[in-house]
Amino acid sequence: MDFSLNEEQELFRSAVRKYLKDLGGTGTARATIRGDDEPARAAASGLAEMGINAIPVPEQQDGLGLGALDLVPVFEETGRVLLPGLQLETLALAVPLITNYGTEEQKKRWLPLAASGESAFSVAWYETGRSLFPETFACTATRIDNRYELSGVKTLVPVTGSPDLFIVGAEAPGGTSLFLVEASEAASVRPLSCLDETQLPAELSFRNAHAELLGEPGKGQDMLREALLHFNTALVSGMVGGMDELVKITAEYAKIRVQFNQPIGRFQAIKHRIVDMKLDLETARSLSHYAAWAVETGADDRIAAVHSARSFASRAYIKAAGDSIQIHGGIGFTEELDCHLYLKRARYWDHYFGSVRDSRKAAAGSLGWHARQTADAAPVS
């Protein structure tokens, strides 16, 4: 039994953490909020130089061919400082999609760019008024000879970090399918105001955009669901990183802030609330690490593992951020402290490609709870 990250992974974490700390911690996120993307861009390059982009990319495409566990420390540390950028979308969603479903040519073209950090990718999936997995999309792709032309409007597409490529969901002959569309093909990009100002979601419109089919037609939802196991694992690492920092700053504050002649951490209302944050953090961390292991090893319970981590961490992160504000009191309600940045990020991530309810449903389904049994008792309800 060894339920821990290995030494290499922990060493890599230390390096990433130190690098991001030296860049000013959440200062990079605050620059993005002020409209200055340069620090986030520089951080992305620096991280790529450290090799984080190569982690999930197969060796044939200039990557390291490593698994989900190796990304855990990376996303915990970028989550800790709320780093803006497309690392999550590129490395944990687009790369698994292209790796698993792309043609040799598509892999050869795009994956080396991801591995080196030269390109960032994004996913244009959501449409206004539609759920995450709607029966159909309004956005359509028409086949013309050997190519596809894609038209329609996508919303909530992350464009911070200047993606070169979008993976777009659209209706095509055969059903909902995935397409590779280069950024230059977008007819318009309208930035949307966002609660989490470190994010830059946009409304994208396409008019007869040149689109390449990714994987089989009609399998768009299945492919996305599978790739979301990678995505959710990485996302939860980001949440754990944020929660870890929240517990740290909140406990520190409770030790030094004095009211009624006592450090407030002496009051059980404060102390026990921080303990509950810590319990949630450790539970989220355990679930998160196990999810990464399950994804990496293809364990039987990987769907339940990933979605348990996601559903738990989603709410726990929101709660931890809210509690950190309360414990900091007035100053916690100011723009000056970071608490609210974590709250806003926690909300941004809460429904990002799935809700708590979605994850619970997925876990239940994967565990076979709905396979009918012989009823051996019958209650009144």
Partner 1 sequence: MDFTLTKKEEAFRDELRSWLSVNLPEGWLEGKRTLPESKEAYSRFLRDWQRKLYEGGWAAISWPEAYGGRNATLMEEIIYHQEMVRVKSPPLVNYVGIHMVAPTLMQMGTDQQKEAYIENILTGNHVWSQGYSEPNAGSDLTAIETAAVKKDGRWIINGQKVWTSFAHLADRCFLLARTGQSGKKHEGITVFLLDMNQEGVETRPITQMDGREEFNEVYLTDAIAHDEDIVGEEGKGWSVLIALMLHERSGIAAEVFTLEQQFEEVAEMARTLTSDGKPIIEDPFIEDGLADLYARISGARLNYYRNITHTLKNGKPGPESSLDKLLVSELGKELFDFAMTIQGHAGVLAGGDAPFDGAMQHQYLASFGATIGGGTSEVQRNTIGERILGLPKDLGR
Question: Among residues 193, 183, 187, which one has the least CA distance to residue 161?
Answer: 183
Strand partners, 165: 121, 182
Which of the ranges 104-112, 166-174, 234-242, 373-381 carries the binding residues for its own copies, by CB under 8 A?
Answer: 373-381
Question: Among residues 161, 160, 139, 141, which one has the least CA distance to residue 149?
Answer: 141
**Helix or strand run (H / E) with residue 147:** strand 147-158
What is the contact mask toward its own copies in residues 336 to 365, using x (rule: CB under 8 A)? ---------------x---x----------
Which residue number, 42 or 258, has a Cβ lying nearer to partner 1?
258
**What is d(CA 66, CA 59) in angstroms, rounded to the nearest whole number?**
9
Question: Among residues 73, 77, 71, which one has the least CA distance to residue 21?
Answer: 77
Which residue number, 127 or 185, has a Cβ lying nearer to its own copies?
127
The Cβ of residue 153 has, within 10 Å, a number of other Cβ atoms equal to: 17
Q: From the list its own copies, partner 1, none, pick the one residue 333 interacts with, judged by a Cβ distance below 5 to 8 Å according to partner type.
A: partner 1
Q: From the list its own copies, partner 1, none, pick the one residue 127 interacts with, judged by a Cβ distance below 5 to 8 Å according to partner type.
A: its own copies
Q: From the list partner 1, its own copies, none, pick the one residue 121 interacts with, judged by a Cβ distance below 5 to 8 Å according to partner type.
A: none
373 binds its own copies, rule: CB under 8 A:
no
Residues 99-158 binding its own copies (CB under 8 A) are 126-132, 155-156
Q: Nearest distance from residue 297's CB to partner 1, in Å?
A: 9
Pairing of strands 165-172, 121-124: parallel
Output the DSSP codes for 221-241. Answer: HHHHHHHHHHHHHHHHHHHHH
Which residue number, 132 or 183, has a Cβ lying nearer to its own copies?
132
Instruction: Record the tokens describing residue 90, joined without a space.
Output: 């590129």
Report whether 132 contacts 175 (CB < 8 A).
no
Give the three-state DSSP class for 5.
Answer: coil
Q: From the list partner 1, its own copies, none, pick the one residue 40 interacts with, judged by a Cβ distance below 5 to 8 Å according to partner type.
A: none
**What is d(CA 210, CA 329) in angstroms, rounded to the nearest whole number?**
53
Q: From the list its own copies, partner 1, none, pick the one residue 308 interacts with, judged by a Cβ distance below 5 to 8 Å according to partner type.
A: partner 1
Residue count, binding to its own copies (CB under 8 A) = 19
Strand partners, 206: 152
What is the contact mask toward its own copies in residues 75 to 94, using x (rule: CB under 8 A)? --------------------
Q: Nearest distance from residue 255's CB to partner 1, in Å?
A: 6
Q: Nearest distance from residue 375's CB to its own copies, in Å?
A: 8
Q: How many CA atoms, within 13 angstroms, populate the side-chain half-sphere of residue 306? A: 31
**What is d(CA 328, CA 340) in angstroms, rounded to the nearest whole number?**
11
Which residue number, 144 or 371, has a Cβ lying nearer to partner 1?
371
239 binds its own copies, rule: CB under 8 A:
no
Residues 266-325 binding its own copies (CB under 8 A) are 267-269, 272
Give the three-state DSSP class for 184.
Answer: helix
Phi, psi of 180 (to 5 degrees): -95, 125
Q: From the list partner 1, its own copies, none, pick the one residue 220 interacts with, judged by a Cβ distance below 5 to 8 Å according to partner type.
A: none
Tell me the chain's radius of gyration from C-alpha atoms.
Answer: 21
Q: Nearest distance from residue 113's CB to partner 1, in Å?
A: 28
Which residue number, 115 or 202, has a Cβ lying nearer to partner 1?
202
Q: Nearest distance from residue 24's CB to its own copies, in Å?
A: 33
Q: Nearest distance from residue 208's CB to partner 1, in Å?
A: 26
Q: Nearest distance from residue 116's CB to partner 1, in Å?
A: 28
Q: From the list partner 1, its own copies, none, pick the one residue 188 interacts with, judged by a Cβ distance below 5 to 8 Å according to partner type.
A: none
Question: Among residues 322, 302, 316, which one has the least CA distance to residue 232?
Answer: 302
Tell me the one-letter amino acid at 42: A
Positions that interact with its own copies (CB under 8 A): 126-132, 155-156, 267-269, 272, 351, 355, 378-381
